Structure 1
Amino acid sequence: MKRTQNMMMKKTMAIACVLATSLSVSFAQQWKPAGDKILTPWGEKLDAAKPHPEYPRPQLKRSGNWQNLNGLWKYKITTKDEKNIPTSWDGDILVPFAVESALSGVGKSVNKDQALWYHNDINLDKKVQKGKVLLHFGAVDWQCDVYVNGKHVGQHEGGFDPFSFDVTAALKKGAKQQVSIRVWDPTSDGPQPRGKQINNPHGIWYTPVTGIWQTVWLEAVPQTYIVNTKQTPDVDASSLTVSANLEGAQAGDMLLVEAHDQGKKVAESSVAAGTEAQLKIANPQLWSPDSPKLYDLKVKVVRKGKVVDEADSYFAMRKITVKKDAKGIQRMFLNDKFLFHYGPLDQGWWPDGLHTAPSDEALKFDVVKTKEMGFNMIRKHIKVEPARWYRHCDSLGIMVWQDMPSGDLGGNVWDMQPGKISNGQHDKDRTAASEAIYKKEWKSIMDVLHNFPSIVIWVPFNEAWGQFKTKEITEWTMKYDPSRLVNSASGGNFSFTGPIVDIHNYPDAAMPDPNIFGEKFVLVLGEFGGLGLPVEGHTWQQKDNWGYQSFKNKEELQRRYEEVIHNVSSLIPLGLSAAVYTQTTDVEVETNGLMTYDRKVIKIPEASLKEIHRKLYNVDVTK
């Protein structure tokens, strides 16, 4: 009898496995990449049943009580005036890929007179059917209205910052729920921050990104919970300051913060909720590209001796400062040591996912390759990445210069004379509404990214693209986050503000005049290079691709690259402190990447690049 039961159980399990496999295959058959553009290796093998399954928030991680909502949703493109949730749908869209992308399975454009709707019938996991339920969005471009079971739960504007809504009151009894989303995005017809997107892609301007482009997820939290934390290191004082924003805090609640090093507690502080905790870190190991040391952090809300909420985070001890070298020229010092910053201009675009990497493995790949090539920095160019990208930079040891995505372009006077300072006279006049949108999103981006130690420089403006009130924006940024440096206008209209003067020059290396600027400003070459090599079979289009200077083969490209790096090295003793090479990968019609757009071809071997770059890091500025 027992043997018969075991045989029946095995047979049932086998049938279940076959059924699960069949359902998975059926699910995958509902989706395929749209269009005929090149795909990355990760896009080619994408599992549509579980895109981007990883926990999306590494700086505030709760264990267990979350549910990933990525996958196939319904979508519909309507007129902008349509405010009611549709009752019929155009088809399926794979979240979190923008509707214009191949990996969305749709590949359609949406203009300023249209709205994009999403809909998903979900089954709440048991682990998120208790306490409060938060609905999180990593990023949605641009204006987003969210409905749960037909009830409007909130609106968010901003294409690059995460947001969430407490949807507890909108949930029905039981597991079955409905989530609907309306998105409106004017792209280049509006003043909002948009980066490289444009309605008519050409040259250095790329395909629009509309709608959800980062992970959507649910999280169950207690009535009193940690909304976010802010942790700032002070290397000189060997301390870490930690504060936490709490929802539902009660009188008498305490904030308990613990620092751990490889499982061993090294510091602890308990303070009243709403106040800052100071942790003393004895003999701290400092974070640098050569030694990216990270400490673990545990943050707890304690009430009458009982932990009511807790989350895991991490931090690093590092500082970035400016001081003069032996010749009286301003330099950047990491942990009191001069380190030449050299990295690629990193657009963060993908041929199949546009703003969205096909997978976390792909997202990490670019950072790994950058490190293997001998770079110590990345300039994240007018785009904000998902939080996991910054975690990879933190872990691997890559400094990040973080740009603010530009918007409201056009109408600027752009003076690119390296020896001239505009002193604000070329700033653009933007409307009050346009300025407010910029300031709101810039503050939100800085808040969200504050805890990532790899970020060492904020860049509010690029090449006078929408540049306005330079002095005001720069000085506010410096005051809001004194733990980092501010590069006020990379290659733009420079004013007497901030510690850095930054020029762009293509293709050869150049620098701001040290005799004019060196005594007061750090001297930076914010963009140069752009050496192009189209690789047949790996380009966005068959012809009319371009670089700032194009070559016929890899050998010619490498020889020319060695020349420009030699020129960079000759400028460092004269006062140059950083350089940014254009660029990490090809992007659409630009073929000036060190890798092809599909990441399948590396044009100059990683080991060769690392050896070429070695000379940039051996300059002694103390003599």
Structure 2
Amino acid sequence: MLNRKLIVIICCSLLIQTSFTTHTAAQSQPATIKTRWAKNVTPDNVLPEYPRPQLSRSAWTSLNGTWQYAILPKAQAQPAAFAGDILVPYPVESALSGVQKTVGKDSVLWYKRTFNIPSSYKNKQVILHFGAVDWQTDVYINGQHAGTHKGGYDPFSFNITPLLKKRGAQEITIKVWDPTDQGPQPRGKQVTNPQGIWYTPVTGIWQTVWLEPVAATYIASLKPTPDIDNKTLSLQARVENLQPGDQVKIKARDGDQTVAEETLQNATAAATLNIPSPKLWSPSSPFLYDLSVAVVRKGKVIDEVKSYFAMRKISMEPDEKGVQRMLLNNKFVFQYGPLDQGWWPDGLYTAPTDEALKFDIEKTKAMGFNMIRKHVKVEPARWYYYCDQLGMLVWQDMPSGDLGNGWENRPGVLGRATDKDRTAESEQIYRTEWKAIMDALYPFPSIVVWVPFNEAWGQFKTEEITKWTEDYDPSRLVNSASGGNFYPVGHMIDLHSYPDPAMPRADLFGKQQALVLGEFGGLGLPLEGHTWQQKDNWGYRSFKNADDLFKVYSRYCERMKDLIKAGLSAAVYTQTTDVEMEVNGLMTYDREVIKVPVEKLKAVHDDMMK
């Protein structure tokens, strides 16, 4: 009975029809609602924070701010003239961009601006970085093609040094094509016609654009892997243009105290640092070690970066009843957190400010949650940095795309659906971007679970993709299919149940996989003056006041105690904030109202998880 109910609820959620007020294109058109941080956004103050905390250098230049834009038919050449200004990196469809226009699959979005190279960059290689651009990006510097990138959620860069003029202003032009839900690429919850659980498209630049001067030989990435059982940290540094005899020097610190040092004579090898009496990272004690890595040539430092790492372990083992349990640092910790979509009424995919980006995590922590499921979206690096700092476990979804699977009602099978028969192109797009996302996010210790698929949305070759994910990163757990199309692969079996909490049967599944409730709840409460639209808002269950909502939520938490005793390892409540038509958030979409006081939520969560 539960299986049929689950399937009906999921199918209905995909079909819910609500009205939607389309944004007008005029620059002066305000967002339906805005956050308090929007007023702090000016062309001279656009996300000025350093964008890559896990690999930092002191010298860099932000290219956020005012650019020119044009929207042209896909087949048309570069524009001779541009339509007006756009504020980068806010998506062109967002209010904060100053544009609020839709692009669509038959058009392309062009950007242009000029910039100057600081004199301190002389004799350096200049790297042009993009945090994320959705979806296909072509970059031109002074009229010459610098490179192409396909992928809406992974960072990428180009060495533009050979394309720069010796003096004067440099010109950058960018062409972006994004078919949204009319192409096979990952796109999360973006659709051409927003309704129900599907939201406004996001096209073009949506994370920081920046320049970085580096030496000809420079550190491109770091891959830290902690081992708390052996009290070691393995560190792999990828160095571009290594020369014979180059050394890599690594130093780990606890505050001012050096706890480990290593010099690699073979700079391509992995270092193993012994970490004595390691301080373990957890939500209750999110301790981070500082890390410095330098390339040294004949005693001279050629390049150096600052970073950090944590000593923590995620694993699973059977309990005394033989039921698999998710463990943190070799101890069972019930993981409980909200489904976090990461959308903003004024910036869509892009938080208006860094303070706003951190706010959601801080409030989630204050509510007594210890985990966040980042739902079919990838955030800027600074979001994960704050999760590392504040002590928040993260389940990271792969953004879904190429949907169209059909649910099947197979007797005796939990939430089974057909795998998607993707084209070779679609498969390759998925594989390439999933690998790039995992590579980019690997250094963040807060991430403990990878989620390749959600509710059979574009799910294909489940066993193969899951096995690849497990092999590519054996340091984390893999939730192969959250809420649908279950196979006996991956570390957990994940049920979605709305609105009441439930769990997969321990006697059928618990011996091989950890049991988790990947989504439940969805208790809706629209608050006048804080909704995306005036009517036809919805939740999985609707309430007229916060007191009645909290009574039901408290009952769910009481029910959860029994589920935890029965073998449940984790649960995810829908959701952190309202999003567009959905009003089932713990906070309103504009973050102005926390519907249930933080203290009441923390008290009921502490009682549930004690």
Residue 591 of structure 1: aligned partner: 583
The one-letter amino acid paired with 2:543 is F
Q: How far did residue 244 of structure 1 move? A: 1.1
Which secondary structure state, in structure 1, belongs to the residue aligned with residue 565 of structure 2? Answer: coil
393-402 or 512-521, which moves further after superposition?
512-521
Q: Which runs of 5+ in 1 are unaligned?
A: 1-30, 619-623
Residue 279 of structure 1: aligned partner: 273
The one-letter amino acid paired with 1:39 is K
Cα distance in 1, alignment partners of residues 559 and 122 from structure 2: 61
Q: How far did residue 421 of structure 1 move? A: 7.2
- 8 Å CA contact 2:31–2:345 kept in 1: the answer is no
Residue 44 of structure 1: aligned partner: 39
- 2:526 equivalent to 1:534: yes
Q: How far did residue 44 of structure 1 move? A: 2.6
Return the match for 1:409 from 403, 423, 428: 403
Q: How far did residue 418 of structure 1 move? A: 8.4
Q: How far did residue 599 of structure 1 move? A: 0.1
Return the match for 2:322 from 320, 328, 346: 328
Cα distance in 2, alignment partners of residues 281 and 205 from structure 1: 46
217-226 or 125-134, which moves further after superposition?
125-134
153-162 or 271-280, which moves further after superposition?
271-280
Residue 73 of structure 2: aligned partner: 79
- 8 Å CA contact 1:34–1:103 kept in 2: the answer is no
The one-letter amino acid paired with 2:221 is N
The one-letter amino acid paired with 2:532 is W
Q: How far did residue 190 of structure 1 move? A: 0.3
The one-letter amino acid paired with 2:296 is V
Return the match for 2:445 from 453, 457, 460: 453
Within 5 A, what are the aligned runs for 1:223-302? 223-271=216-264, 272-302=266-296
When normalised by structure 1's length, the TM-score is 0.92
The one-letter amino acid paired with 1:385 is E
The one-letter amino acid paired with 2:336 is Y
- 8 Å CA contact 2:405–2:459 kept in 1: the answer is no
Residue 570 of structure 2: aligned partner: 578
| Cα distance change of structure 1 residues 276 and 36 upon mapping to structure 2, 3 Å threshold | closer
- 8 Å CA contact 1:421–1:495 kept in 2: the answer is no
- 2:23 equivalent to 1:57: no
The one-letter amino acid paired with 2:500 is D
Q: How far did residue 544 of structure 1 move? A: 0.3
Which secondary structure state, in structure 2, belongs to the residue aligned with residue 444 of structure 1? Answer: helix
Q: How far did residue 34 of structure 1 move? A: 3.9
Return the match for 1:100 from 70, 83, 93: 93
1:569-602 CA distances to partner (integer Å, 9 max, x unpaired)?
2211011111000000000000000000000000
Q: How many residues align?
A: 584
The one-letter amino acid paired with 2:385 is R
The one-letter amino acid paired with 1:168 is T
Return the match for 2:152 from 141, 156, 159: 159
The one-letter amino acid paired with 1:41 is R
237-246 or 42-51, which moves further after superposition?
42-51
Residue 312 of structure 2: aligned partner: 318
Residue 188 of structure 2: aligned partner: 195
- 8 Å CA contact 1:73–1:92 kept in 2: the answer is yes
Q: Look at both structures and tell me which one has the larger radius of gyration over its CA atoms.
A: 1
Cα distance in 1, alignment partners of residues 520 and 160 from structure 2: 48
Q: How far did residue 121 of structure 1 move? A: 1.3
The one-letter amino acid paired with 1:160 is Y
Cα distance in 1, alignment partners of residues 138 and 410 from structure 2: 41
Q: How far did residue 123 of structure 1 move? A: 1.9
- 8 Å CA contact 1:67–1:128 kept in 2: the answer is no
Cα distance in 1, alignment partners of residues 242 and 190 from structure 2: 42
Cα distance in 2, alignment partners of residues 571 and 417 from structure 1: 24
Q: How far did residue 617 of structure 1 move? A: 1.9
Cα distance in 2, alignment partners of residues 266 and 34 from structure 1: 55
Cα distance in 2, alignment partners of residues 370 and 33 from structure 1: 34
Residue 338 of structure 1: aligned partner: 332
Q: Which runs of 5+ in 2 are unaligned?
A: 1-25
Q: How far did residue 417 of structure 1 move? A: 7.9
- 8 Å CA contact 1:239–1:279 kept in 2: the answer is yes
Cα distance in 1, alignment partners of residues 410 and 380 from structure 2: 32
Q: How far did residue 35 of structure 1 move? A: 3.3
| Cα distance change of structure 1 residues 416 and 106 upon mapping to structure 2, 3 Å threshold | farther
| Cα distance change of structure 1 residues 370 and 415 upon mapping to structure 2, 3 Å threshold | farther
Within 5 A, what are the aligned runs for 1:174-213? 174-213=167-206
Return the match for 1:505 from 497, 505, 511: 497
Return the match for 1:468 from 439, 443, 460: 460
- 2:424 equivalent to 1:392: no
Cα distance in 1, alignment partners of residues 287 and 251 from structure 2: 17
Residue 134 of structure 1: aligned partner: 127
When normalised by structure 2's length, the TM-score is 0.94
- 8 Å CA contact 1:412–1:467 kept in 2: the answer is no
Return the match for 1:214 from 190, 207, 216: 207
- 8 Å CA contact 1:137–1:163 kept in 2: the answer is yes
The one-letter amino acid paired with 1:135 is L
Matched residues, percent identical? 61
Q: How far did residue 127 of structure 1 move? A: 3.0
Q: How far did residue 126 of structure 1 move? A: 2.4
Cα distance in 2, alignment partners of residues 472 and 465 from structure 1: 16
339-348 or 606-615, which moves further after superposition?
606-615
The one-letter amino acid paired with 1:460 is P
Return the match for 1:483 from 475, 483, 486: 475
Cα distance in 2, alignment partners of residues 134 and 319 from structure 1: 34
- 8 Å CA contact 2:91–2:347 kept in 1: the answer is yes
- 8 Å CA contact 1:419–1:516 kept in 2: the answer is no
Cα distance in 1, alignment partners of residues 454 and 410 from structure 2: 12
1:417-450 CA distances to partner (integer Å, 9 max, x unpaired)?
885375xx72111001000000000000000000
The one-letter amino acid paired with 1:535 is L
- 8 Å CA contact 2:415–2:483 kept in 1: the answer is no
Root mean square deviation of aligned Cα:
1.3
45-54 or 399-408, which moves further after superposition?
45-54
- 8 Å CA contact 1:419–1:513 kept in 2: the answer is no
